[in-house]
Chains A and B, each alone.
Chain A
Amino acid sequence: MKELIKKLVEVSSPSGREDSIRETIINELEGYVDEYRVDAIGNLIVRKAGSAENPKKILLDGHADEIGVVITNIDKDGFLRIDPVGGVNPLMLLGAVMRFRSKSDGSVIRGIVSFESETARDLQNNYKNPSFDNLFLDIGATSKPDAQEKVSIGQFGTYDAGFIDQGKRLISKAMDDRIACAIIVQLFRIIENPVNDLYGVFSVQEEVGIVGASVAGYDIMPDMAIAIDVTGNSDTPKGFKRMDLQLGKGPAIKIKDRASISDRKVVDALMEAAEENNIPYQPEVLIFGGTNAHGYQLTRSGIPSGTLSIVSRYVHSPHEMVDYDDVINAVELLKRVVEKKS
């Protein structure tokens, strides 16, 4: 499955610009789904029919987009100003390489970020209080026209950081949320005879405000929706002390975060399936953040929704780390859930 993960995380598709990742996923799922379609706002919806007489609908969601930046200005010397697409901490950009696609020939344009400073004190202050108002992006352009040939205002880009395989631990940009996309693709590949109708939703624009989920939920009207997403961790030096989330202790079954409280029936279904099949899991209460479960829970007459999380380190940085066993166990757990007769 590592090859699949590598393929998906290395695609550059920030919120609202999910075309490439959608195409990649469709290719990866070729032959494994009964049907697929793309809705009005760009959600990719795939389906595999269930064998039950009156099958229920189970929806698994992984958001297709990733955080990124957008070009807001090109100055007279060819330096760029950028704004965040989703929750990007400007601190993360220092030393990061960003990538865009060239307007003229489609090649990859890379740029690096630095901070404005007219004095040493300015520089210190800007390092201490990094803001999109005091940083700029340098694509190595020699002039404004040179920059304009390569990029344009309104163009979206992402981190340029590839997949690193450390054996048990995997590192890349966009683990959030391509790891979920990979889990869903893998599940569709291995599941042969689901009891219930299985829907996979590769939703758009989660990072800018949970846009895709409510539309997909309204459209499909599932009996249960499970968002799959990354979550925080507490297992790094001086890590969060109010939470207990560790890499390698199994997928996390979310009870609550800042945006939703999981439907208890969904939580129970996940925990029971884990216990019956001896799959490790960890209960999760996240003191910040939110997932697409929020969108599903608030559409139609309130879809029973929950989240299965992959504990991650350094979320929204260019190098997000997950545990490979957690990923394998998440696939196994979801397989058991959707195969279970209800």
Chain B
Amino acid sequence: MYLKELSEIRGVSGNEVRVVTFLKEMIKELPVKPDSIKEDHLGNLMCLRKGKDSTKTAVLMAHTDEVGLMVTRIEEDGRLLARPLGGVDTRVMLGKRVLIGDDDIPAVISYKAIHNQKDPLKSPPRWSDIKIDTGLGDKKTVEKRIQIGDTISFDTRFEEYDNRYVGKAFDDRAGCSMLLRMMHEMEETPEHNIVFAFVVQEETGLRGSGMVLKHFHPDAVLVIEGTTAGDNPELKEARWSTHLDNGPAVNYLQGGYAIDRRLFEVVLQTARENKIPFQLKGRTVGSTDTSRTARSFYGAPGAVVNVPSRYIHSPVSVMSKTDFENTYKLARAVINNKNFVRVSYDPKTRGA
């Protein structure tokens, strides 16, 4: 729901305000309003739907930010230098269209002409080699419209091809879209409390999500992410992260956190019971907000479901529509599953 809008909105880490404003507008239109809406200083937006059993709380989480750049310097000739916010490789930047600052000033990323390079493809360009060209004129002219510290995002139209969604920022507007849809479709009182948490600054180091645990004391956290596919046919299948059309990808280990065993099992069992196809993510590098929520305040166990997405952290990503739909179904079934908020450590239970 609103995937097109959410994908096209600009919201680089630390500057998620447009995304949050859009979400708040949409939340006003919901058929059943949340019981409470909380915003914190960081910019996290948390909506609580009280459940029949108010002693149990599940948090459903997606991050509002996307990777991008920030202006660090304006050259005398008017071109801009920038640094990445989040994991962006210089190689995906060359020649791309971007939008800068609050006024959405268009620009193109330039780079030394290929014929002037000794070994053009041997090593990735450095950020100091990447110049951003607005065509506005010299430094003085540019300074009237652009400031150091302005964020730069990819300028990508959302499109649909057959069974594919194509656009930017699916990491993690895909998750934001699903949270919004779930709030929309949740007409009846849920079994237990559900907090829909839209959190900031995931891409720059999981900085926003921990604060959600200042306000709520969840029994479990479920994060919805757009994640790497890396399923290029020239790679061995054993080295793929996820594969498009194979269903939602479930994490078991990631950077900084081994997914809670009990929740992992609840997710798989829920998928099987509801006959939702799923895959297990083949790579364990990279992280999600569950790495932060597990270690914040009193801690909360977490699990992750992902929509596989090709060419992530670049100007254009591609998702499968059926994966998207099945990820939504799985997340909805899990977050409403009584067992999800009833995991307890029975010391007598032997683990895997």
Contacts and interface: CB of A to CB of B under 8 A. Distances in A.
A337 interface: no
Nearest to B351: A19
* Contact residues on B (Cβ < 8 Å of other chain), bracket: 35 or more
A142 B23 CA distance: 53
Nearest to A116: B236
A41 B301 contact: yes
B260 interface: yes
B257 interface: yes
Contacts of A26: 347
A17 B294 contact: no
Contacts of A191: none
A23 interface: yes
B352 interface: yes
A339 to B, nearest CB: 29
Interface string A4-21: 000000000111111110
B348 interface: yes
A81 interface: yes
A309 interface: no
Given A42-B345, A218-B298, A17 B256 contact: no
A336 B282 CA distance: 49
Interface stretch (A67-75, A238-246, A318-326): A67-75
Interface string B274-294: 000000101111000001001
Interface string A211-249: 110110011000000000000000000000000000000
A19 B297 CA distance: 22
B258 A17 contact: yes
A40 B298 contact: yes
B352 A156 contact: yes
B124 interface: no
Contacts of A87: none
A83 B350 contact: no
A248 B91 CA distance: 53
A156 B351 CA distance: 10
B316 interface: no
B299 interface: yes
B207 to A, nearest CB: 14
A70 B264 CA distance: 14
Contacts of B294: 41, 205, 211, 215
Interface in B240-267: 250, 252-253, 255-261, 264
A208 interface: yes
A192 interface: no
B284 A72 contact: yes
A22 B345 contact: yes
A305 B286 CA distance: 30
B283 A209 contact: no
Contact of A133 (B239, B257, B291, B299): B239
B300 interface: yes
Interface string B320-352: 000000000000000000000000010111111
Interface of A is mostly: mixed
Given A38-B345, A40-B300, A218-B297, A16 B239 contact: no
Contact of B257 (A17, A20, A209): A209
A208 B260 CA distance: 13
B112 interface: no
B238 interface: yes
B238 A16 contact: no
Given A16-B258, A205-B258, A72 B283 contact: yes
B295 interface: yes
A214 B301 contact: no
A101 interface: yes
Contacts of A85: 253, 258
A215 B210 CA distance: 12
B58 to A, nearest CB: 13
A289 interface: no
A155 interface: yes
A35 interface: no
A218 B294 CA distance: 12
Nearest to A152: B280
B351 A155 contact: no
A208 B257 contact: yes
Contact of B301 (A22, A40, A72, A156): A40
Nearest to B250: A154
A328 interface: no
Nearest to B219: A40
Contacts of A83: 253, 283-285
Contacts of A75: 237-238
Contacts of B256: 208-209, 211
Contacts of B282: 72-73, 81, 153
A14 B256 CA distance: 14
Given A22-B347, A101-B352, A154-B280, A17 B301 contact: no
Interface of A: 13-20, 22-23, 26, 38-44, 70, 72-73, 75, 81, 83-85, 101, 106, 133, 153-156, 205, 208-212, 214-215, 218-219, 295
Considering the complex of A and B, which 5 residue pairs feature the smallest CB-CB distances, nearest first? A16-B258, A19-B351, A215-B299, A154-B252, A209-B256
14 contacts: A16-B253, A16-B261, A17-B352, A23-B348, A38-B347, A39-B298, A44-B347, A83-B285, A101-B352, A156-B352, A209-B256, A212-B295, A214-B299, A215-B295
